[in-house]
Amino acid sequence: MRDDLDWAVWSRERQQRIELVLDAALPSVAGPAATLTEAMRYAVLGGGKRVRPLLAYAAGEFAHADVAVVDAVAAAVEMIHAYSLIHDDLPCMDDDTLRRGRPTAHIAFGEAMALLAGDALQAAAFGMLGASSMCDAGSACVKLARASGVAGMAGGQAIDLAAVGQALPLPDLEAMHRMKTGALIRAAVELGAMCGPQATPGESAALAAYAGAAGLAFQVVDDVLDVTGTDASLGKTAGKDAAHGKPTYVTLLGLDEAKRRAESLRLKAHAALAPFGARARRLVELADWIVLRQH
């Protein structure tokens, strides 16, 4: 794909590409487990911003990787993300009924089938990554496992559940979100870069700094939009964090200061990649989109 495309065209092409990759990777709706595979496809296809796949593709371009190799990484991180959304929406977690503008998986298929769909998507993600043509698929699987487990997404969710009704100090809130949201975003960037030639220490450090800032910015903006958005604009239930007594950047800092923090993180992401100029264009554009988005 051409590298002279503007952001809107590039992102749309990558979103269309990952949709095709995911459609081909997911099992067809057939056989004795047809309801399960239907639930998996329902949760993954036909919606979502595809932020993590876009980050993987952008990091792949930064690393001069073959886009066909990045496909497996992009699909794997999106499957992990989709599984986490299914489980987050369950009554035992956030108890939400709306996701991507339609009923959540447990509303559409029942709690047990939704739970199994999340389990199966996690397994499919590691199978996709392990069977990829990456030079070091084993290390990639380890990185994705760490981002998804106790030290990453699952651990962050556990802290989030325990923090309901509490006013966390800013360092604790950021630590939680570096795990819950940021870990998979960092993995998307790092795995995308792993699809190309081995990065230098300076490149790895710059990508890590960028991903850390972008991951936190994503969560800050999510917290802002939870207050300022609507069910229709977000495709999910607005105001649910406040209703559930969850600590957020808005409750801790106030709306205006939370917006300023998101902008500061955007500039921090830019600064991390400034030495690489046009080579980092897509990653920089993604940081802008993450902070300036309205949904």
* 3-state SS, one letter per residue, for 152-175: CHHHHHHHHHHCCCCCCCHHHHHH
Phi, psi of 149 (to 5 degrees): -95, -145
Parallel, antiparallel, or unpaired: how do β-strands 98-99 and 102-103 relate?
antiparallel
Protein fold of 7-292:
Farnesyl Diphosphate Synthase (1.10.600)
Residue 200: Cβ within 10 Å count: 9
Task: Measure CA 165 to chain center.
Answer: 26
- Strands (E) in 200-269, as ranges, are none
Domain ranges of the chain: 7-292
Residue 235: Cβ within 10 Å count: 18
Give me the residues paired with residue 215 across strands.
none
pLDDT at residue 190, rounded to an integer: 97
pLDDT at residue 50, rounded to an integer: 97
| Site of tokens 């993300």 | 81
Give me the residues paired with residue 102 across strands.
99
Distance CA 131, CA 106 (A): 30
pLDDT in tens, the chain (295 residues): 456 689 999 999 999 999 999 999 999 998 889 999 999 999 999 788 999 999 999 999 999 999 999 999 999 999 999 999 999 999 999 899 999 889 999 999 999 999 999 999 999 999 999 999 887 999 999 999 999 999 999 999 999 999 988 888 999 999 999 999 999 999 999 999 999 999 999 999 999 999 999 999 999 999 999 898 777 777 777 677 777 788 899 999 999 999 999 999 999 999 999 999 999 999 999 999 999 998 7
pLDDT at residue 243, rounded to an integer: 72
CA-based torsion, 111, 117, 123, 125: positive or negative: negative
pLDDT at residue 2, rounded to an integer: 54
Cβ proximity of 248 and 30 under 8 Å: no
Residue 8: Cβ within 10 Å count: 10
CA nearest neighbour of 141 among 129, 151, 150, 128 = 129
In eight-state DSSP terms, residue 120 is H
